[in-house]
Amino acid sequence: MTKSLNKEPNQQTQTHQENPWLEIVKTVATAAILAFGIRTFVAEARYIPSSSMEPTLEINDRLIIEKISYHSENQNVGM
């Protein structure tokens, strides 16, 4: 019987380990870009600070405004 000589027993695989600070910066940058994109194009949280919309909305009511349908439809402005 012959043994395969293709593999060396002491061969170590080298793994590239990234700098932890660089990983933190990448994570924070990705989170900031996602948060900006979601808030700009998808949804935004709002609250009602005054009684200008009573009786429909009360003071300090919290809302989530959906923006996708606004961007996808043609808006007709009345004159």
Domain region containing 57: 43-72
Number of domains in the chain: 1
pLDDT per residue rounded down to tens, the chain (79 residues) = 555 555 555 555 667 788 999 999 999 999 999 999 999 989 999 988 988 888 888 899 999 999 888 767 777 777 6
4 inside domain: no
Q: What is the model's pLDDT at position 52? A: 86
19 inside domain: no
Q: Compute the CA torsion angle 9, 14, 20, 25 (nearest 10 deg).
A: -150
Q: What pTM, to 2 d.p., does this model score?
A: 0.56
Active site (catalytic) residues: 52
For 13, the token pair is 């695989």
Bridge pairing between strands 62-66 and 43-47: antiparallel
